[in-house]
């Protein structure tokens, strides 16, 4: 049975994508002193998606965006350290 979440075969890829999204979110926060909302969240995903494409990982943009929205609250509670 297929779950409704990112369909990435490799767990390592999923973790890397999550890391890029967290890093972009924290970079945004560092620059603006607030977390992204609305179109700003799309900008964060856009920046992370560039890295995903460069890494040769194929995943639809919409899937990454939905994943980001579903995980954003948790990312904000537990910002990336370092």
The pLDDT of residue 52 is 96
Residue 15 near residue 73, CB atoms below 8 Å: no
Residue 21 near residue 63, CB atoms below 8 Å: no
Q: What is the pTM of this model?
A: 0.79
> For residue range 40-70, what is the model confidence (pLDDT) as tens digits?
999 999 999 999 999 999 899 999 999 999 9
The pLDDT of residue 11 is 81
Tokens 């779950």 belong to which residue?
Answer: 3
The pLDDT of residue 30 is 92
Give the whole-number percent of the chain exceeding pLDDT 70.
82
CA distance linking residue 47 with residue 49, whole number of Å: 5
DSSP code, position 63 = H
CA distance linking residue 3 with residue 60, whole number of Å: 16
Residue 43 near residue 16, CB atoms below 8 Å: no
The pLDDT of residue 79 is 62
The pLDDT of residue 81 is 55
The pLDDT of residue 2 is 47
């Amino acid at each position: 049975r297929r779950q409704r979440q990112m369909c990435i075969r490799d767990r390592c890829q999923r973790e890397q994508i999550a890391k890029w999204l967290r890093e972009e979110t924290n970079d945004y926060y560092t620059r603006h002193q607030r977390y992204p909302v609305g179109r700003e969240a799309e900008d964060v995903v856009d920046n992370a998606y560039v890295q995903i494409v460069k890494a040769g990982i194929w995943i639809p943009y919409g899937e990454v965006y939905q994943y980001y929205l579903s995980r954003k609250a948790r990312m904000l509670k537990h910002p990336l350290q370092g």
